[in-house]
Copies of this chain bind each other. A is one copy, B any other.
């Protein structure tokens, strides 16, 4: 089953890095110790020059490609793009994919047990930022004895981590590949996140974030949050193409059960998410999104924020993405140009919206494959 085909990285076993020392966080708190869970695909070359880091988005984790068991029905979240001969080619690159701090079912997060109290962290897990994540990712880099990433790659919130890497650790990456991202959230983006958070925290089963101890989960709140997310991940056109106003039973039933196909889709997306995600993690991930603003320290001057950058950038946007529209990517590109940095830009004509970055439209795949081919040549792999 899982070995499947020559385009799959096959069966993968997650690994773990235990960090025993304390790490200071942007919020002022300290994590005394933590674990980072990660996976690797492909082979590190002798020069240790072909490693690329994958940074995940809001609902992602370390499991980006391949399968965990022969019985797995679904591969990792970016399996379409990572594998032998794929866009991110594991025949040439050693791909590292980790789960970020604060996540679920991976690295240390709210669901983990606090080493001192033995209780779930829950609401005591500190608010983590994109900057914190990048600092922790650099510990993973050092532990793997990788001097410099050939590239750091990420979509959406992952793309924000890529920018932060290029600013905070300029020597540690040769290329920065930022896909479907934005230099900071708009007020409307924050508004969507805030409603999702309110849905979670006002759910009576949230119990102030200590629901683990009550044997419940704020299912309704998390479901609403996910449904809302899906509105922003899909373009209006994609929804029209996918569902139109199609009726589930072919006729109006004048009631409040599911009538339109789009309702059915959203309820399904919401319900299935609850089984694989944690509400406290959702809160943390949306806060990290809201806070990301590398130009905050430079009074809003993004070009100045990019001043330390030495990595060469590749920025990709999708025309149907209304969550982080192409103009948001062009803000990144313009600031890099103003800062005198090297940047390539691809605006991919697409239909589906924000989630296009997970897929394989030819223009997207060909642009990135060509770019990454040059990165691999450079890395001597």
A residues contacting B by CB (< 8 A) are: 26-28, 126-127, 184-188, 190-192, 194-195, 197-199, 201-204, 220, 223-224, 227-228, 230-231, 234, 236, 239-240, 242-245, 252, 254-256, 259-260, 262-263, 266-267, 270, 283, 287, 290-291, 293
CA distance A224 to B228 in the complex (A): 11
Residue contact A260 to B127, C-beta cutoff 8 Å: no
Interface pairs (21), CB distance under 8 Å: A187-B243, A187-B244, A187-B262, A188-B239, A191-B262, A191-B263, A194-B262, A194-B263, A194-B267, A195-B224, A195-B228, A195-B231, A197-B256, A198-B223, A198-B227, A198-B266, A202-B223, A202-B224, A203-B220, A256-B283, A259-B290
Residues of B close to A186: CB separation below 8 A: 236, 239-240, 245
The smallest C-beta distance from A353 to any residue of chain B, in angstroms, reads: 10
Q: What is the total number of copies of this protein in its complex?
A: 2
- The chain B residue with its CB closest to the CB of A187 is B239
- What 6 A-B pairs come out closest when comparing CB atoms? A27-B254, A187-B239, A202-B220, A127-B254, A188-B236, A187-B243
CA distance A243 to B26 in the complex (A): 24
Residues of B close to A252: CB separation below 8 A: 291
Residues of B close to A190: CB separation below 8 A: 245, 260, 262-263
Residues of B close to A199: CB separation below 8 A: 199, 224
Q: Is the interface of A mostly helix, strand, loop or mixed?
A: helix
CA distance A46 to B270 in the complex (A): 59
With contacts A185-B245, A260-B290 taken as known, whether A191 is within 8 angstroms of B254 at the C-beta atoms is no
With contacts A231-B188, A262-B190 taken as known, whether A201 is within 8 angstroms of B239 at the C-beta atoms is no
The smallest C-beta distance from A204 to any residue of chain B, in angstroms, reads: 6
From B198, B204, B242, B255, A187 is in contact (CB under 8 Å) with B242
The smallest C-beta distance from A72 to any residue of chain B, in angstroms, reads: 30
Residues of B close to A194: CB separation below 8 A: 227, 260, 262-263, 266-267
CA distance A231 to B197 in the complex (A): 15
